[in-house]
Amino acid sequence: MPDSSPSALILARVEAFRRCDFGFIFDSCHPESNFRRQFPDRDEYVRYGWATLGREFRILACAIIREETAAGSARVIFTLEFELHGARQSYAELAWLEEAGGGWRYRCGQKLASEDFPVAADRLDFRHFDEVPEKVIY
């Protein structure tokens, strides 16, 4: 598990999705994350990942836009462009990470659809996510 920086973890997770390494995705989540509440069993998530994404999910591009770290926690804004079942989509995500188990782990995230970007993707900042009227944190 890459522990060098929060952005390195995000990029490693993107590569894991590219390889359909759903075990890594599970392992890189914080033990107290919403994700782990939804999927408490690793093997169950791996089966779910293959059933819902499998080879039908293809990441085309990922870019880290901003990273901010504090003692034991971090926030990373990144953009992701992908194809799912042949349809191209993109979004930006504000990911919250925390240190656990000797490294950074994904705690939760907030997505912003590309059509809702208030500025160009490379100019997105934390305040743009704060200003979203109806936030969905997953």
pLDDT digits (tens, 9 = 90+) for 20-56: 999 999 999 999 999 999 999 999 999 999 998 887 8
In a domain, residue 137? The reply is no
In a domain, residue 136? The reply is no
The total domain count for the chain is: 1
In a domain, residue 138? The reply is no
Q: Which amino acid, one-letter code, is at 44?
A: E
**Residue 2: predicted pLDDT:** 46
Domain range for residue 65?
6-130
In a domain, residue 117? The reply is yes
**Residue 1: predicted pLDDT:** 53
Give the residues of the chain that fall short of pLDDT 50: 2
